[in-house]
Amino acid sequence: MSEPIRLGINGANGRMGRTLRALLQGDPRFELKTAINAPADWVKLPELDVMIDFSTPAGFDAALAHCVAHRVAFVSGTTGLDAMQRTALTEAARTIPVLHAANFSLGIAVLARLLREAAAALPDWDLEIVEAHHARKVDAPSGTALALGRAAAAARGQDFDAVAAFARHGHTGTRPGNAIGFSSIRAGEIVGEHTAMLATRDERIELTHRAYDNTIFARGALHAAAWLAGKPPGAYALDDVLAA
């Protein structure tokens, strides 16, 4: 039997971090070597094969820097990254394997694949993305909704920043034909729901994913981490994991 993968978790006391640690208790693929919760935890870390990061944008920076410096595979689900952080991910992929996803649900990965195909096949149809999450979520639209929008824009050869419509209020005028619209709902304990709606005059297609338990994201991240460990440097996606 091969040696277990030496794993670190950044953001170990957060909701996802706690879920990951619970799942690891019954997972022989991994040995949890370190659980990082504060800046002081970065001092004298043990050798790792892969780091899973579910933290904050500031925590993401520290985790990525450590992984690049020590040649550790990097799996991250941290959202709210800015353009400089996305560039840092691209640069890191020159020296380590990296996999960043706004959502580690394998179902969402399939939804994104279907949306790319539909958006490309129906380039003139209106596209709206509606997402719903629990009342405590602090960012909107969700990182997953943005990732879906970017995937659709790329499939249509569009500049996402030029076509994304995030707010409608008052006298807005008619809908621009090439827009990708976003709507956000925050209520109760909704784990996560995403619907991509493509509509034209007499037809409408809705592609919907509903998450009922946060463990699906942790399971997906562990699946990705087991797959990524030992891979050559590069930028990977959940699509690559699905294709394996």
Return the active site residues: 133, 137
Distance CA 4, CA 23 (A): 15
The two three-digit tokens of residue 95, written as one number: 């020296």
DSSP letter string, 177-201: TT-EEEEEEE-TT--EEEEEEEE-S
Distance CA 32, CA 46 (A): 10
Report the sign of the C-alpha dihedral through residues 211, 217, 218, 224, in that order: positive
Residue 37: name the closest of 10, 56, 77, 72 by CA. Answer: 10
Q: Are strands 50-53 and 192-199 parallel, antiparallel or unpaired?
A: unpaired
